Structure 1
Amino acid sequence: MHVAVLSGSVYGTADLVADEAADRCREAGLGVSRIKPANVDGLLEANPDAILVCVSTTGMGELPDSFMPFFIGLQDRFPLFTGKPFAVVALGDSAYGDTFCQGGEQLRELLLELQAHEALPMLRLDASETVSPELDAAPWFDQFIAVIQC
């Protein structure tokens, strides 16, 4: 099993969470392609069996500027990931109300449009509640690994 781990971050927190995810996948014996910065060519060349993306939300619910070329590239090229398992870790701040974790939700919806299969419900990490999101996400990563190894 080979997993592509991608991230989109403003201040680096989503990158740290993705790095932790990649480490946990490797420790579980999975092959990992840590694609940083996220790009469509890198994802397609990796040809993973599963996709894991950690992405933060910025502004009024947007994706980080550094992640937008990847997101737009997926929309434009529309590579189908039919049945391929994926999962999204969304980082945000619940103080922003309706836009909390909307960056992750946008990506999740696009991956579903590309016919990928959501392996686990999206994990929402709230900056108002955690100081170490990479550690808070660890049990969810373990669950993701168990699901894709079945």
Structure 2
Amino acid sequence: MAKIGVFVGTVYGGAEEVAEAVVSHLAESGHQVELYLDPTLEEFLAYQQDLALVVSSTTGQGEIPDNLLPLYQSLNDTFPLMPNLRYGVIALGDSSYGEERFCGGGRQFDELLRELQAKPLAERLDVDACVNFDALEVAMPWLVSWTKLADAA
């Protein structure tokens, strides 16, 4: 089974709730999984030969939450190429803030990981709070598919 780091960006706790459900599912599936609520560059780089899953909400301006921003900035500043990292992103947002801001936190992280040559296991999941009050209703089916891809990787 895979070694998976789950890296969370949260403002009001919604992304953390999704991430905790993700960790439970992955652990029940037999994976070695760790949750990071205030992730550091060193913790993230420890997974560059494994799998990383970013679960991020978005601030009202389409930005990365404060607890995840230092990791994003460190990755952007040091720019460590990670061609062996396989990853996924669950982006939480609210489309009423506009197209440019919608799921901006997760979108920015996904774009940076692609620039760092990491390989997505699946397309980013964008969860719209205007459509899905309970993000887990959308996230869990996506996670089941992502976990199958992780098992095969």
Q: TM-score range by the shorter chain?
A: over 0.9
In the alignment, structure 2 segments of 5+ residues that lack a partner are: none
Superposition deviation, residue 11 in structure 1: 0.4
1:8–1:38: 8 Å Cα contact kept in structure 2?
A: no
Which AA in structure 1 matches 2:66?
Answer: D
How far residue 46 of structure 1 moved from its aligned partner, in angstroms, is: 5.1
Q: Which residue of 2 aligns with 1:146?
A: 148
* Structure with the largest fraction of helix: 1
Which residue matches 2:117? 115
What is the percent sequence identity of the aligned residues? 37
Q: How many residues align?
A: 150
Give the aligned CA root-mean-square deviation in angstroms: 1.4
Which blocks of at least 5 consecutive residues in structure 1 are unaligned?
Answer: none
> Structure 1's 119 and 2: CA in aligned 2 closer, same or farther, altered over 3 A?
same
Q: TM-score, normalised by structure 1?
A: 0.93
CA distance in 1, matches of 2:137, 2:96: 21
User: When the two structures are superposed, what TM-score results if normalisation uses the length of structure 2?
Assistant: 0.91
Q: CA deviation at 1:35?
A: 1.6
> How far did 1:86 drift?
0.6
Structure-2 change in CA distance of 1:2 and 1:48 (3 Å):
farther
For the residue of structure 2 that corresponds to 1:138, the secondary structure is helix
The CA distance in 2 between the partners of 1:85 and 1:108, in whole Å, is 12
Partner of 2:69: 68
* Cα deviation code 1:21-67 (max 9, x no counterpart): 11111111111021221221222235561110000111221111222
Q: Over residues 96-142 of structure 1, what are the superposed CA-to-partner deviations in whole Å (9 max), with x where a residue is unaligned?
A: 12211111111001001111001111101111122221243111111
How far apart are the structure 2 equivalents of 1:32 and 1:47?
14
